[in-house]
Amino acid sequence: MYSTFMSATPKIRIDLNSSVPAYRQIVDALRVLFVEGRIRPGDSLPSVRRVALDLGVHFNTVGEAYRQLAQEGWIDLQQGKSAVVRDRGLPPPAPVEQVKQFRARLRAFVAEARASGIAPAKIVEELKSLVQELLP
Amino acid sequence: MYSTFMSATPKIRIDLNSSVPAYRQIVDALRVLFVEGRIRPGDSLPSVRRVALDLGVHFNTVGEAYRQLAQEGWIDLQQGKSAVVRDRGLPPPAPVEQVKQFRARLRAFVAEARASGIAPAKIVEELKSLVQELLP
DNA sequence: ACGTACTGTACATATTAAGTGTACAGTCAT
DNA sequence: ATGACTGTACACTTAATATGTACAGTACGT
């Protein structure tokens, strides 16, 4: 029988000094891997204790992140088994209100970057790079 | 004597149901106005009570936002006077580490948008729009 | 069948962050 | 001086986050 394994334990990094809570950083980091296809349906995630050890947080913190991801439809959780990535079809199209909110938050984000001294040229570079990845 | 006045009270909007705290939403919204030059050095901000009333929060919450902005060098605060926007030269160039962090957070942000059902085309549109504003 | 070692989970507690209420102190115009 | 406006300080409540500990399901070897 083939063993279920993860395509190399995904390495994520969080900043314990950040003002954004650890469990949300974990959710964000894993969601990036899902969206970008670096972890795929059928793969399983490392255990909450393993991740907790790697990141330096309590395993319940990771558990909360996993539950959040389950609620978003990214993974299936079942007690005793490891968390497995699930095939989450296309999400329903977002309402316009949410698009507006996205625009506002994006602006705030870029403004913060500019304010912190990141050169506009650098920012443009990053934005363009993302555009490239999204187009094809 | 000329009255000190704000170039039309800047209207900002926050989401009281959001998971990001109100005072930080206020900081973010005002910083956008500063960075984009919609509020300029010499202008004064509406009082903490005025803003609080508009947004539906307590004035101490606004006060905390103002103090944060003062610390970032955007405004001068003095008891008894209204908050006045200050000329904050160019920020010192950000270290590479911070640029990396910007990239990561930007990715997380876009991933969240995609996951929530915002069409990639829409996202690209917004990104390009920002690039346009940053280039000239 | 049983034990062992691994999964995620539930819940009480501790800690920290965020928001509020109220009183205060400075500025300015009248 | 007085009144009406500024921001501020601090005690307090509430909510969010993180942890500690005990539990329950699953897989696998014996």
- Cross-chain Cβ contact A115/B34 below 8 Å: yes
A109 phi/psi in degrees, rounded to 5: -65, -45
Percent of chain A with pLDDT over 90: 91
Domain boundaries, chain B: 22-85, 96-134
- Given CATH 3.40.190.10, say whether it is the number of domain B22-85: no
Q: What is the pLDDT of residues B79-132, one digit of tens each?
A: 999 999 999 999 999 999 999 999 999 999 999 999 999 999 999 999 999 999
Rounded mean pLDDT, B27-43: 97
Q: d(Cα B127, Cα A3) in Å, to the nearest integer?
A: 42
- B73-82 as b/e: b if 16+ CB within 10 A: ebbebeeeeb
Please report residues contacting nucleic strand C, using a CB cutoff of 7 A.
A 19, 45-50, 59-60, 63, 66-67, 70, 77-83; B 1, 21-24, 57-58, 60-61, 64, 78-81
- Cross-chain Cβ contact A112/B34 below 8 Å: no
Residue A76 contacts strand D, CB under 7 A: no
CA→C1' distance for B1 and D28 (Å):
87
Q: Which nucleotide is nearest to B82 (CA to C1')?
A: D6
Q: Which residues contact A23 (CB under 8 A, 6 or more apart)?
A: A61, A62, A64, A65, A68
pLDDT of residue A86: 97
Q: What is the pLDDT of residues A50-80, one digit of tens each?
A: 999 999 999 999 999 999 999 999 999 999 9
pLDDT of residue A11: 85
3-state helix, strand, coil in chain B (%, to 5): 50, 5, 45
Mean pLDDT in consecutive groups of 10 residues from the start of chain A, 136 residues: 45 94 98 96 97 97 98 97 96 96 97 97 98 93
Q: B-contacting residues of A 21-80, CB under 8 Å?
A: 24, 28-29, 31-32, 34-36, 72
- pLDDT tier for residue B136 given thresholds of 50, 70 and 90: confident
Q: Is the pLDDT of residue B56 over 60?
A: yes
